[in-house]
Structure 1
Amino acid sequence: MATSLSTTGCVGSSFYGSWGTSIVGEDYTLLAKSVPSQVRIGRGKPVRLQPMMKNINEGKGIFAPLVVVTRNIVGKKRFNQLRGKAIALHSQVITEFCKSIGADGKQRQGLIRLAKKNGEWLGFLA
């Protein structure tokens, strides 16, 4: 963004847009409508794109191969149930730790987010 110093001593800018409509309102709807919801492959029927929430470190991390093999053996549904129970238990441990040292809720949430980030990095969420 180019800036210039005007004669009044104020810094001017080449930005002429509005901050209020940068992501909300009409601009967002226009952007959302411009993204295709279907893609044609060759001459066949259009294929609907599925929204995906993926771990950016999927398949990476020291424990990722073990997690993938376990998921394939146990089955995806049962594996996700076990993973959910393990995550809940770990969150309870973090909560009890925070209570014992007198940390507030904001610090507890920060520790839980850090645990999730570390789990992704190590490959537990592969």
Structure 2
Amino acid sequence: MATSISATGFTGGFATSIGGEDYAMLVKSVPNHVRVGKPVRLAPMMKNVNEGKGLFAPIVVITRQVVGKKRFNQLRGKAIAVHSQVITEFCKSIGADPKQRQGLIRLAKKNGERLGFLA
């Protein structure tokens, strides 16, 4: 069943075109063994995404190498805890609610990342 063009215009329709010779040729041109598999996921890398970024990153990296990773992480944890306490006391003194306090702590973390303190 082929479509034809007559003097009055196009005869046949979409169904006759797809159902006709064109469809058979289309089906033959597409291999039937093509399969789409699951996307390949790369293994997660244990790497600090902030390393090397920010103004203070080189100082942080050198300090970590000098004092050792374990001791450095202990010092960093203490510094973060003290900074959070300072933010909490500030929020109490100005009457900020806990939601605002949490927002300030998140802002401090973002700024620390940007400046390289978390490298």
Structure 2: which 5+ residue stretches go unaligned? 1-37
Q: Deviations over 1:36-58 (max 9, x none)?
A: 47xxxxxxxxxxx3454743x42
Match of 1:85 among 58, 78, 81: 78
Q: Secondary structure at the match of 1:60?
A: coil
Q: Deviations over 1:88-124 (max 9, x none)?
A: 0000000000000000000000000000000001000
Counterpart check, 1:120 vs 2:119: no
Q: Which has the higher helix share?
A: 2
TM-score by length of 1: 0.59
Normalization by structure 2: what TM-score? 0.62
AA aligned to 1:92 is Q
Structure 1: stretches of 5+ with no match in the other structure:
1-32, 38-48
The match for 2:91 is: 98
CA distance in structure 2 between the partners assigned to 1:60 and 1:104 by the alignment:
33
Q: Percent identity?
A: 79
Q: For residues 125 and 36 of structure 1, what CA distance do their matches in structure 2 show?
A: 27
Structure 1 residue 74 corresponds to structure 2 residue 67: yes
Which structure carries more relative contact order (alpha carbon 8 Å, separation 6+)?
A: 2
Q: Distance in 1 between matches of 2:98 and 2:47?
A: 27
Structure 1 vs Structure 2 CA RMSD: 1.8
1:109 is matched with 102
Provide the rounded CA distance (Å) in 1 between the counterparts of 2:63 and 2:80. Answer: 16
Look at both structures and tell me which one has the larger radius of gyration over its CA atoms.
2
